Structure 1
């Protein structure tokens, strides 16, 4: 288990890396070095710690005891009633069903939207850049968490609406919502929306290509399914090893990165499979076909 200090560094590193997308492994490691230098410079400062809502939110997120986490999250909310991240944490700590969580997310989102509208953050010039604005970033995280909950509940059309709203507000899509949308379109066999999304981002990542392979398999379009499979296998040679279960635990551990993954790595493939599990479960035949095709490559 990581120490509290390590957990804090990892969390801050994640937020730092979320500002960038489509980094190569070398670029990603360069950004990690940049973050660590900034972090060490901050530690060298002698300014006293300000016990604001972020201070208590950090304590809440670092706490190993649920009661302590709740107590500090509540303190954060006492200081700032609109500390969305604290409310998200409190919902996560509740022993409730996904359906009850959905209701709480909707209430939180409605409250946050009203506050942000009153503060002027929904001005036209901000639409599309919400994740890059400090005050609206927690709102995007709340929307993303809500979308995940909808997927877990099998409310796929509602999840699609939520996802489209997120990328409208945050065009750079730092959270990778487009990958969830592509998997949802594949599940719903919505070829036109999937192709429009691919055209919008012009991206050949595993998050885009893997759902497309299953989509075209489901549509009996083996030519396109094979085309995207060959493209993905060419960009990420570890696809064959992963699908054939040929990777060792050591190889998997070596490719794990604390802030997520670098493009065209085992880590990226594992993230995609985890995101797309609802799609994979619905297309066992497609997965068997992929393995069969890869065995010939």
Structure 2
């Protein structure tokens, strides 16, 4: 049953990534058309809160969510602020220093980051690092690197691209850290929350960071223009509402299996494929050459291998490795 659930989670995660790609495409569009990054980052999550609050109120699920959040408000503000505040700030600001395909590509390091962070988050079997999952994640990253290399002669300087990469790498670690910590908090407290409630709770927790970002944007450029408002609304609906709900649902399905969680996070590599397609069609960038196409095949191949059942070999912290070694020698 777990294997079947993992396949379902991978499919839902891949669909979520299609909607997530709108973030990179629209961020690049706004960065090239004068939209201030602070307004983009703050408004995206703020609009997300408003839309989800209305949807949950209509379903009668808003009050129970707020009641749950009030019991442990600090955890929701901390991890929500990181997930939908700080992480999105890094991604949006990075769009000022590099193209959308670069931001989308580097952010796929979150695949490996989520695996590497597992021993520091969980105390059960999820703390293990599946070797197969790690190797396949690295294969996907090789594909992403080839796609990026195929686009290396762009309009940005080396320093700009370096800043872009550093910002996105920071986001790549913070995103799985915040998501997993908040998911673990909900699990430990025994809260029964739907995927939409969890997304809404995370977004509501980021409100303090949202106001800081929008306040900075106002003092820098005044109020945002109509074009920026419409563009951010598209991001909020596509990436914030649809994408996040689908992704959280996929994570919830695979929550009991470390390799399954890694596989769901790996589906985010689909974002770079959709971002390239979107930028080619909407922003007029050139389609990747043979290196880029090779990278696409490696990414898709890694996802296919993720979905194939296999015996999981895992790296564990030293104390677990030692115990396993003793067991293999027949010592009890």
TM bin, normalised by shorter chain, reads: under 0.3
Q: TM-score, normalised by structure 2?
A: 0.22
Structure holding more helix per residue: 2
Point out which structure has higher relative CO (alpha carbons under 8 A, 6+ apart).
2
Q: TM-score, normalised by structure 1?
A: 0.24
